[in-house]
């Protein structure tokens, strides 16, 4: 039997069969990906072959080849990675200007990673109902910045069941696709999921008043079937470890930087100190946003660091 992994638990997973029947399965054997150590061999979104034993237990015996997968590297030096999900069509990144505040570095790292995986990203600004006047200006500027880079951008109130944009997401953007919801803890991923389904599918949590951050309410990825398509709720992430990017390919994943890099004097320009750098000139002339260039530099810095580690 072939089924779809919709949830991973401590030592097994839930597998959904063709007709919607769900079975709890154990994992048999070693399915690790060559070259990277992962904490979970089987991920939400995987298509797997299962076998039922005579004692009634179900076992995953094989994983179908993955179209793609998104990993999160652990921040310590162990180099272990966690597969957030497999076989996804698009990622929806939820961000908030405040309560909690999402940094532009985080947004840009996420977008760069999705470019590297060639998975389309949608940027959703949430909690627009609780923005101050100043924060609204920040919102407008950021929406304009990313829309100009040709990202699909939305501003929503996830806990409002009547929000027109939430309904649009449901009808036009999420239907017929496998969408991964991602973002920092507390930005409202689970809230959006509940609103999309019109009922409480999963638990949501408060924002800590002491540090203005989420409290990691969702702890495992889980996939929920829409009329046609799936939405995957994931635990909040702090950082999104870049895939192993080479120093000289980081600029490929920043659309506007890549476009201008062809005008740099040197083919292998990294846009640091090189003479005749069209990218730095564009930053100075505010054609490229300083925040984007800073994010580029921060990923480049990481590449250097891991090279000497
Ligand atoms: N005012 C306001 N509050 C919201 C909105 N969306 C979510 N919240 C609140 O924000 C808090 C956190 O929401 P969650 O949905 O649990 O956040 P999450 O992203 O799933 O967090 P983790 O599971 O920890 O990663 C809850 O108290 C929600 O009610 C919104 O649009 N406006
Ligand atoms: Mg959650
Ligand atoms: Zn350059």
If asked whether residues 173 and 135 sit together in one domain, one would say yes
Residue (of 124, 229, 230, 252) closest to 271 by Cα position: 252
Count of alpha carbons within 13 angstroms of residue 250, beta-carbon side? 25
Q: Among 233, 264, 293, give the residue marking a domain's end.
A: 233
Structural domain contains residue 110: yes
If asked whether residues 152 and 272 sit together in one domain, one would say no
If asked whether residues 45 and 120 sit together in one domain, one would say no
Q: How far apart are alpha carbons 147 and 145 in whole angstroms?
A: 6
- Please tell me the predicted confidence (pLDDT) of residue 57: 95
- 128-171 pLDDT, tens digit per residue, is 999 999 999 999 999 999 999 999 999 999 999 999 999 999 98
If asked whether residues 96 and 221 sit together in one domain, one would say yes
Per cent of the chain over pLDDT 70 is: 92
Q: From the CB of residue 117, how many other CB atoms can be counted at a distance below 10 Å?
A: 17
Structural domain contains residue 242: no
CATH number of the domain encompassing residue 152: 3.40.50.300
- 265-284 pLDDT, tens digit per residue, is 999 999 999 999 999 999 99
The three-class DSSP label of residue 250 is helix
The CB of 129 under 6 Å from ligand 1? The reply is: yes
- 288-309 pLDDT, tens digit per residue, is 999 999 999 999 988 877 655 4
Decide: 43 and 83 in contact? Cβ < 8 Å: yes
- Please tell me the predicted confidence (pLDDT) of residue 305: 74
The 8-class DSSP code of residue 190 comes to: H
CATH number of the domain encompassing residue 283: 1.10.40.50
Among the atoms of ligand 1, which is closest to the Cα of residue 205? Answer: 16
Ligand 1 pocket: which of 97, 188, 203 to mutate (most atoms within 8 A of CB)? 188
Q: CB within 8 A of 31, min separation 6: which ones?
A: 41, 42, 63
If asked whether residues 132 and 204 sit together in one domain, one would say yes
Q: CB within 8 A of 200, min separation 6: which ones?
A: 194
Bridge pairing between strands 69-73 and 80-86: antiparallel
Q: How far apart are alpha carbons 49 and 184 in whole angstroms?
A: 33
Q: From the CB of residue 299, how many other CB atoms can be counted at a distance below 10 Å?
A: 20
Structural domain contains residue 7: yes
The domain total for the chain is: 3
The CA 24 to ligand 2 mean position distance, Å, reads 22
State yes or no: cis peptide before 100, omega within 30 of 0. yes
Decide: 264 and 276 in contact? Cβ < 8 Å: yes
Q: How far apart are alpha carbons 155 and 130 in whole angstroms?
A: 12
Decide: 188 and 95 in contact? Cβ < 8 Å: no
Q: How far apart are alpha carbons 98 and 21 in whole angstroms?
A: 41
Q: How far apart are alpha carbons 181 and 223 in whole angstroms?
A: 10
Q: What is the CA radius of gyration of the chain?
A: 21
The CB of 6 under 6 Å from ligand 1? The reply is: no
pLDDT under 50 in the chain at which residues? 309
The CB of 127 under 6 Å from ligand 1? The reply is: yes
The CB of 196 under 6 Å from ligand 1? The reply is: no
- Please tell me the predicted confidence (pLDDT) of residue 243: 65
If asked whether residues 137 and 206 sit together in one domain, one would say yes
If asked whether residues 163 and 96 sit together in one domain, one would say yes
Q: CB within 8 A of 224, min separation 6: which ones?
A: 6, 193, 197, 201, 230, 231, 232, 233
Structural domain contains residue 240: no
Q: How far apart are alpha carbons 44 and 19 in whole angstroms?
A: 18
Which residues constitute the domain of residue 36? Answer: 2-68
The CB of 159 under 6 Å from ligand 1? The reply is: yes
Bridge pairing between strands 152-155 and 177-182: unpaired
**Which residue's CA lies nearest to atom 10 of ligand 1?**
188
Summary mean pLDDT of the chain = 90
Q: Among 233, 268, 299, give the residue marking a domain's end.
A: 233
If asked whether residues 100 and 179 sit together in one domain, one would say yes
If asked whether residues 254 and 161 sit together in one domain, one would say no
- Please tell me the predicted confidence (pLDDT) of residue 29: 66
């Amino acid at each position: 039997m072939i089924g779809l992994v919709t949830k991973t638990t401590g030592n097994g997973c839930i597998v959904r069969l063709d007709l919607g029947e769900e079975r709890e399965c154990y994992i048999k054997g070693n399915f690790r990906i060559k070259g990277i150590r992962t904490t979970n061999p089987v991920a939400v979104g995987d298509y797997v072959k299962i076998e039922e034993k005579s004692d009634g237990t179900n076992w995953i015996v094989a994983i179908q080849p993955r179209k793609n997968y998104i990993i999160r590297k652990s921040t310590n030096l162990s180099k272990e990675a966690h597969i957030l999900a497999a076989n996804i069509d698009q990622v929806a990144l939820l961000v908030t200007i405040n309560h909690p505040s999402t940094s532009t570095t985080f947004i840009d790292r996420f977008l760069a990673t999705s470019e590297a995986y060639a998975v389309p990203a949608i940027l959703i600004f949430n909690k627009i109902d609780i923005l101050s006047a100043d924060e609204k200006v920040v919102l407008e500027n950021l929406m304009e910045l990313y829309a100009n880079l040709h990202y699909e951008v939305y501003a929503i109130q996830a806990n409002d069941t009547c929000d027109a944009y939430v309904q649009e997401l449901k009808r036009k953007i999420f239907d017929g696709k496998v969408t991964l919801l991602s973002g920092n803890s507390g930005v409202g991923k689970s809230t959006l999921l509940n609103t999309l389904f019109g009922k409480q599918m999963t638990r949501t949590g408060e924002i800590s008043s002491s540090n203005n951050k989420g409290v990691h309410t969702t702890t495992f990825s889980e996939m929920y079937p829409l009329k046609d398509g799936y939405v995957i709720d994931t635990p909040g992430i702090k950082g999104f470890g870049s895939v192993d990017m080479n120093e000289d390919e980081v600029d490929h994943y920043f659309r506007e930087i890549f476009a201008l890099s062809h005008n740099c004097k040197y083919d292998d320009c990294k846009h640091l100190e090189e003479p005749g750098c069209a990218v730095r000139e564009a930053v100075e002339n505010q054609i490229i946003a300083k925040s984007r260039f800073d994010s580029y530099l921060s990923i480049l810095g990481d590449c250097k660091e891991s090279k000497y580690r």
